[in-house]
Amino acid sequence: MWYYAAHLTDFSIVMSFVAHESLAEKIAAHLAERIIKGELISGERIQEARVVEELQVSRGSVREALLLLESRHLVTIQPRRGAMVAELTVERVNSLYDVYEALLTLLATQVALQWTDENKMPLLNQAMKLQSPELKKDKFMFMLAGFDLMRAASDVINNPYLSTLLSDLQPAIQRTYALSIRFSQEGLERTIHFFAKVVELILARKADELPPLFREFSLYQRQLVLDAMAENPVPALD
């Protein structure tokens, strides 16, 4: 499972690594961050030789990194054409949000039914971090903190299958989520309110009120993404 963090200074602040993780994974994290931040845009070709030169790494490691990114829906590799940033289309955005909404709704409803006084504190602590005025000033760090809240929720129910599914989709949803908060400051404020409401309903064990809340937010979020896709050029995330 991939765990995202924000403390690396070399290749990336998107993913954290321990010593045994490969160079290819670090290269993949570096490129993933650039895609998520909008520095590499939809359909842009990723030139292996340029990555090799910029990072002073082997071509084999770069190719392995691109395969990792393809498995995470951030890169498309085509025969004889090479790698390019996976295109964002209306169909792909809607498909992604349909699946992710269903998974997050399942996660939240299970947490509402299963939390205990012993396991709820990490969830509450992470929810409090999202209300920090300092965090709101950094859109990218706020985005990462939101996914930390999701992981804290996953730890409550301890369902490795659901956690793996959410983790596999995380890079792709981070990309669209980052695009939406670059596009709209209102989107950031509404996201803060959404997280607070989710935690409120979970603690009240109002599981039946969570599906419509997630449905409403999913529709709003995906529309922000679609509106942002129509803007040209797409601004990079500060």
Sequence spans of domains, the chain: 23-85, 90-229
- What local confidence, expressed as pLDDT, does residue 99 receive? 97
- What local confidence, expressed as pLDDT, does residue 45 receive? 95
- What local confidence, expressed as pLDDT, does residue 81 receive? 86
Express each pLDDT in 133-161 by its tens digit.
888 788 888 888 999 999 999 999 989 99
- Global pTM reads 0.81
- What local confidence, expressed as pLDDT, does residue 181 receive? 82
Sequence-distant (≥ 6) Cβ neighbours of residue 44 within 8 angstroms: 84, 85
C-alpha to C-alpha distance for 203 and 215, rounded to whole angstroms: 19
Strands 82-85 and 45-46, by their bridges, are antiparallel
Name the fold adopted by 90-229. Answer: Four Helix Bundle (Hemerythrin (Met), subunit A) (1.20.120)
State which residues of the chain have pLDDT below 50.
1-20, 233-235
- What local confidence, expressed as pLDDT, does residue 11 receive? 40
Sequence-distant (≥ 6) Cβ neighbours of residue 167 within 8 angstroms: 1, 2
- What local confidence, expressed as pLDDT, does residue 1 receive? 29
Rg from Cα positions in the chain: 18
**Cis ω before 171 (30° cut-off from 0):** no
- What local confidence, expressed as pLDDT, does residue 12 receive? 40
CATH of domain 23-85: 1.10.10.10
